[in-house]
Structure 1
Amino acid sequence: MELLKGAEVSAKIKEQAARMLEKLGGNVPKLAIVRVGERPDDMSYERGAIKKMEGFGLRVQSYVFPADISDQDFKEAFRNINQDEDVTGILLLRPLPKQICEADIERMIDPAKDLDGISPSNIAKVFAGDGTGFAPCTAEAVIEVLKANGIAISGKRVTIVGRSMVVGRPLSMLMLKENATVTICHTRTADLEGTCRSAEILVAAAGRAKMLDKRYVGQGAVVIDVGINVDENGKLCGDVDMDSISGAASMATPVPGGVGAVTTAVLAKHLLLAAGQKSG
């Protein structure tokens, strides 16, 4: 089984980003990362995003708020970030604490700065197949991994385990745009194992550690593991039991070091696209 490492895909996106940055003629765009509270997964993603932006030669600033901030105070602070002319794009780390109405923030964010595709406008564009909107970075990263490794999507049977608006649903639209035949699975899918086994490309985005083992993987399938979990030993792992599938899958993305590394590269690319649209 060949491992599809994210670093190689990220390096290709970095080359593309360098050309995009050059076209901006010295105008270096700025990413605002908005975090509420101290969730370890948010902080880990934030560190990775900061490192990636700086590595790509882009500006980045974190805006951190206490977990108990009121809905009104957060909205006021977010409005100021949203309206700041120096901020080219925004990454909002979610989920937000329960006292904040996340739907209101999704409606508030400027679609032109919404780099992770959370605004109703960008979601609608993704579902309409309109490439001018920003898709969620993780969903787009899956497509980038497949294309960078020369894996054909058109005409393939693709099964996605997970139906969230962060990965599952938008990814299904991106796959359809690439002419794949798509099945979305979830906890109530009858014969989940059999449905997954029939896939030529299997995407795991269920959010459950090592949920998918060799019973779910057809011979020669390409497995893309989007999950980020912590196993019983406190180690980072995906939704796929990698040791179990090694005899069935032809290729698979590792966790860590797979899709996650590409997600932050896609975020950087979106920041440069936002800057280009602003200057154009």
Structure 2
Amino acid sequence: MSSASSPRLIDGKAIAAAVTEDVARRTAALTVKPGLAVVLVGEDPASGVYVSMKSKKAESLGFHSVQHTLPAGTGAADLLAVVAALNADPAIHGILVQLPLPKHLDAAAVIAAIDPDKDVDGLSVINAGRLTVGDRSAIVPCTPLGCMTLIGEVHGADLSGLHAVVIGRSRLVGLPMALLLQQANATVTIAHSRTPDLPGLARGADILVAAAGRAEMVRGDWIKPGATVIDVGTSRVPDATRTSGQRLVGDVAFDEAGAAGAITPVPGGVGPMTIAMLMKNTLEAAEKAAR
């Protein structure tokens, strides 16, 4: 990316820090500590790191933080019993079951068992339905909620007159992202692997959200000059210059994205926002319970 045409970098770390600072301030004003319970099944190293990060962040903000680590062979009945106990615990306002679960467990059934008002990942069918109809009680999935905050830094809250293209249609990111953009008055197109002329469609986007999970799929000539680009992807690719032999990249070929007006880097863009929004969702669940 040439310095003459470098887009504005949207600093997810700084914006996430501002979000968590506000969460800490509001937490201090509550008479009850927000309670976050994280449930980990098995010993997947990446999941273990994510759970540890979430628990430490909750503790740093003054939350009541609980972690349940269960053996990989835990049966469905035992896992659902843990969820039921957390549902019934008034000191817990947010429940997060770390995904992916071991293959013998039905993730959809486990998520469905979480009290929708404690489903701080926003993954339940009930919260998805609430979001679809614009119900303000919906708990919104953390990653798209974070993306909207980043977009708001560039465009403000009202996206009237802007065309947004979301590449990816997952329940976790793509679909809720499209709904949030629509509710902010953008004109939204959802694209995916079977979309004809995906590059041409992307070139029409004022806001381009790349959430396909394919390393550097979005090339520089896919980007409309001046567009805001939100890169949700994280993939590791070989890099002989790194000690690890790999480097982290997004769904956008960052070095080719000089035409963008603003872009999120990978790492340091969307990633920090996801945990910040988990904390915000937990705080708001506690505030709602305290009313």
Question: Per the shorter chain, which TM-score range?
Answer: over 0.9
Q: Which residue of 41, 46, 50 maps to 2:46?
A: 41
Q: TM-score under structure 2 normalisation?
A: 0.90
- Which amino acid is 1:39 matched to? D
Establish whether residue 105 from structure 1 lines up as the match of residue 134 from structure 2.
no
Establish whether residue 178 from structure 1 lines up as the match of residue 184 from structure 2.
yes
Give the superposition deviation at 1:141: 0.4
Q: Identify the residue that residue 60 of structure 2 maps to in structure 1.
A: 55
Aligned-residue identity in percent: 40
Establish whether residue 239 from structure 1 lines up as the match of residue 251 from structure 2.
yes
User: Is the partner of 1:69 in helix, strand or coil?
Assistant: coil
Give the superposition deviation at 1:194: 0.6
- Which amino acid is 1:141 matched to? G
After TM superposition, list the pairs within 5 Å mapping 1:153-232 onto structure 2.
Answer: 153-232=159-238
Q: Contact between 2:237 and 2:248, CA under 8 Å: does it hold in 1?
A: yes
Distance 1:160 1:41, change over 3 A: farther
How far apart are the structure 1 equivalents of 2:221 and 2:79?
Answer: 46
- Which amino acid is 1:53 matched to? A
How far apart are the structure 2 equivalents of 1:31 and 1:146?
Answer: 27
Deviations 1:100-132 (A, max 9, x none): 112211221001110011122111111011111
Q: Identify the residue that residue 275 of structure 1 maps to in structure 2.
A: 286
How far apart are the structure 2 equivalents of 1:39 and 1:230?
Answer: 17
Establish whether residue 22 from structure 1 lines up as the match of residue 43 from structure 2.
no
Deviations 1:182-221 (A, max 9, x none): 0111110000111111101100111111111213211111
Q: Identify the residue that residue 254 of structure 1 maps to in structure 2.
A: 265
Give the superposition deviation at 1:78: 2.5
Give the superposition deviation at 1:22: 3.3
Establish whether residue 124 from structure 1 lines up as the match of residue 136 from structure 2.
no
Number of residue equivalences: 278
Distance 1:148 1:220, change over 3 A: closer
Q: Contact between 2:37 and 2:95, CA under 8 Å: does it hold in 1?
A: yes
Distance 1:78 1:102, change over 3 A: same
Establish whether residue 92 from structure 1 lines up as the match of residue 104 from structure 2.
no
How far apart are the structure 2 equivalents of 1:45 and 1:237?
Answer: 18
Deviates more, 1:65-74 or 1:138-147: 65-74
Deviations 1:234-253 (A, max 9, x none): 222211111121x2111110
Deviates more, 1:16-25 or 1:132-141: 16-25
User: Is the partner of 2:103 in helix, strand or coil?
Assistant: coil
- Which amino acid is 1:8 matched to? A
Distance 1:7 1:275, change over 3 A: same
- Which amino acid is 1:65 matched to? L
How far apart are the structure 2 equivalents of 1:33 and 1:219?
Answer: 42
